[in-house]
Amino acid sequence: MRYDSDLLYRPPGEWKSYLLQCTIGCSNNQCTFCGMYKEKKFRIRPTQEILEDIDMARAYYGPGLQRVFLMDGDAIIIKTEDLLRILRKLYDTFPALEKVTLYAGPRSTLSKTPEELKALHDAGLSRAYLGVESGSDAVLKFIHKGVNAQQMLQAGQRLVEAGIDLWVTIILGITGEGGDWREHILSTAQIINEMKPRHLSAMTFAPAKGTPLGDDVLAGRFKVYGPDHILEECRLLIQHLDVDPLHFTSNHASNYLPLKGSLPQDREKFLSLIDQALEGKIRLRKTLNRGI
């Protein structure tokens, strides 16, 4: 196995997965809140190198490997024929393999036809993680996501229609104080309802050092919301989500109140926990060392 650096990023749920580096960095790498790949220049690794790494992983892990995550960011950008070769090699090399997952950029997803995405699913691409962040055109433009809400929706819908298990992330508090947070939350709930992912993680904005938004926070140009407001945003989001079933989590390290369960079954439980937290009956996670 070969990696371009010691900075390896993967979704929290992929902690048991073998990390196979297929791309270096992120194809967009312009998001103002994200510091994950700022030091990397995006490129796709040669397919032959990736196939060699799979053989190296077999020698190291043996044949019983069950999960693989294709990193870095946006591995779905790889040419479909090359991705299919990688998937075939993985499943041939590891007979017990159950899941292959990756981060999917919205523009890269839209560059593939529905037929290509279906072929990838049929070849064993199990899950895609899509950073939606917001359903608001204004917010997506503000954070330099590279697509508008309609394009984001179409990307997510294509993944779902291809049969790929879609895990979406959104960001609470991303408008900052003075921003139109209600529009952000309501439009986000709407895009999720139309996209119909199986999983949704609501994270909380925490400024990252060396990012444009992080610099704005330090300069006083961007005011970060406090915990009570973040809970209000989470409450409004949960009230308006109608995907059934939806695995919902808000238990990332960035979140003040850990929530995990299923909607709509756990809606009232979530709302009750949020109300208790707002009333001071539940202790929130400490805010020390959050972000920069």
pLDDT (average), residues 262-287: 94
Q: What is the pLDDT of residue 35?
A: 87
pLDDT at 192 > cutoff 90: yes
Q: What is the pLDDT of residue 288?
A: 47
Q: How far apart are CA 252 and CA 199, in angstroms?
A: 14
**pLDDT, tens digit, for every residue of 59-76?**
999 999 999 999 998 999
pLDDT (average), residues 3-10: 84
pLDDT at 41 > cutoff 80: yes
Q: What is the pLDDT of residue 9?
A: 87
Q: How far apart are CA 135 and CA 137, in angstroms?
A: 7
Question: pLDDT-derived band of residue 8, with 50, 70 and 90 as boundaries?
Answer: confident
Q: How far apart are CA 271 and CA 239, in angstroms?
A: 8
pLDDT at 285 > cutoff 70: yes
**pLDDT, tens digit, for every residue of 100-126?**
999 999 999 999 999 999 999 999 999
Give first-to-last CA distance, the chain, whole Å. Answer: 33
Of residues 288 and 244, which shows the higher confidence score?
244
Four-CA torsion 55, 58, 60, 61, nearest 10 degrees: 150
Question: pLDDT-derived band of residue 236, with 50, 70 and 90 as boundaries?
Answer: very high
Identify the CATH class of 15-278.
alpha beta
Question: pLDDT-derived band of residue 179, with 50, 70 and 90 as boundaries?
Answer: very high
